[in-house]
Structure 1
């Protein structure tokens, strides 16, 4: 009989400790990180362009972490010169309009339409408002030797 009382008291104590642990584990202030820093890396691009010449800008999105519902968008602005920027699928980007990124690896195609110096600022943002900017500058390539050959 004495042994049964001791076992009963030990089990009751274990249940109480387990209940206290479970109650303290139920914290509504669970902090789940959703927004992670990111960068966009590119391969080198030419610095001189002829009017009408198109160059390819190869881009890679690098994320410090992953939160599945995060989306990424691109927009651009051209403060100097004129030209057009396209996605590899042929979508022509309009200045200051947001477009979804097609993936973590993508290509942009810039076509020069100016003999002046050209600059494009490309902005990437995630669904949490984190923003990254890349700036590309091009000078006019007025080298006549290549055109004659």
Structure 2
């Protein structure tokens, strides 16, 4: 069984290495292709308009590429922040719901009710419910305020 696990790890590592090598080769080929296309565009503009216009055309092309990369980076970063905020809200809701579904907590609560008695416990539970409601309304008001973006 352990040998099969080791073989699976070796196989997955080998395939990941092959995929990484292929991705690296594709990236190098794309870089060389882009370099030749930029050189061809530069020579074309140089022959038709002159060296200054050729340099400005090359700079404009790279500026557009840089702006596209910056915009996609910004959009991706916002998307990741939004997903992290949603995950935090879901985790907070799951933690609150999970606390009441814990069987050990319910068993402890039943033992406390038996030990203290239901008639003495009702006023304590009423005060606790009011306090919980106040805390929930405060946290809801704090989370509904829009957060400032840096």
What TM-score results when the alignment is normalised by the length of structure 2?
A: 0.25
What TM-score results when the alignment is normalised by the length of structure 1?
A: 0.25
Q: Which has the higher contact order (CA 8 A, sep 6+)?
A: 1
Higher-helix-fraction structure: 2
Higher-strand-fraction structure: 1
Q: Higher Cα Rg: structure 1 or 2?
A: 2
